[in-house]
Amino acid sequence: MSKILIIEDEESIAELEKDYLELSGFTVEIENNGEEGLTRALEEKFDLLILDLMLPGVDGFEICKRVRKVKNTPILMVSAKKEDIDKIRGLGLGADDYITKPFSPSELVARVKAHLARYERLIGSGVQENEIIEIRGLKIDKTARRVYVNGEEKTFTTKEFDLLTFLAQNPNHVYTKDELFSKIWDMESMGDIATVTVHIKKIREKIEFNTSKPQYIETIWGVGYRFKM
């Protein structure tokens, strides 16, 4: 059964959408706040997102942009203003569809079904998309274990790749060298936390434009490292 997340601050609209979608057999959850909606969209697995544009906290533009960086989940954007829809199209944020309020519930359900069907065909076609992390010109293809910086492929050793991927998957979180060492290297392996420093240095040489002013992996003096989102 397909699971849908509605991010919408007008509770009556969200409830109406939910009722109709549930009648069509979908599992539906609602978030009324942009920030919490974004967190759930990123951390949990939904088959489709219905995203209102104007939201408290983080708005629909930002949510769409952030989710698209890491997920292919179909996104249906909802707005009260026709002009906003034109703006979304212009921005090319990666939304799959747009709908203007007020809309008929049956139209919403029809569009949701169409997008889910298209997405399932894509997934089921065997042409599974690679799992990719993309942040400001840095592209990590987890499936193929390849790294590109502004479109140019860089060669990574296994541990360099694992370390970079781990940090990039957990952005804005400070890790100590000890934590990184125990996560990336198995405990029996030779080496110590200095290994982490050496690997970070090598990774920076490959991904940073200026290694003395890193834009991706930040050093938190006396603590460890943090991947900047």
Complex with Ca ion: residue 101 or 145, whichever CB lies closer: 101
Q: Which is nearer to Ca ion, 97 or 218 (CB)?
A: 97
Q: How many residues bind Ca ion (CB under 5 A)?
A: 3
Q: Does 52 bind Ca ion (CB under 5 A)?
A: yes
User: Least distance (Å) from Ca ion to the CB of residue 87?
Assistant: 15
Which range touches Ca ion (CB under 5 A), out of 44-52, 125-133, 145-153, 187-195? 44-52
Binders of Ca ion in range 170-229 (CB under 5 A): none
Distance, in Å, from the CA atom of 229 to the CA atom of 227, rounded to the nearest integer, reads 6
Q: Is 97 in the site for Ca ion (CB under 5 A)?
A: no
Q: How far, in Å, CA of 114 to CA of 209, rounded?
A: 43
Give the residues across from 133 on adjacent strands.
Answer: 140
DSSP 3-state of 101: coil
Instruction: Give the residue carrying structure tokens 């989710």.
Output: 67
CA angle 115/124/49 to nearest 5° reads 30
Q: Does 54 bind Ca ion (CB under 5 A)?
A: yes
* CA–CA gap between residue 209 and residue 200 (Å, rounded): 14
Residues of the shown chain interacting with Ca ion in the complex, contacts defined by CB under 5 A: 9, 52, 54
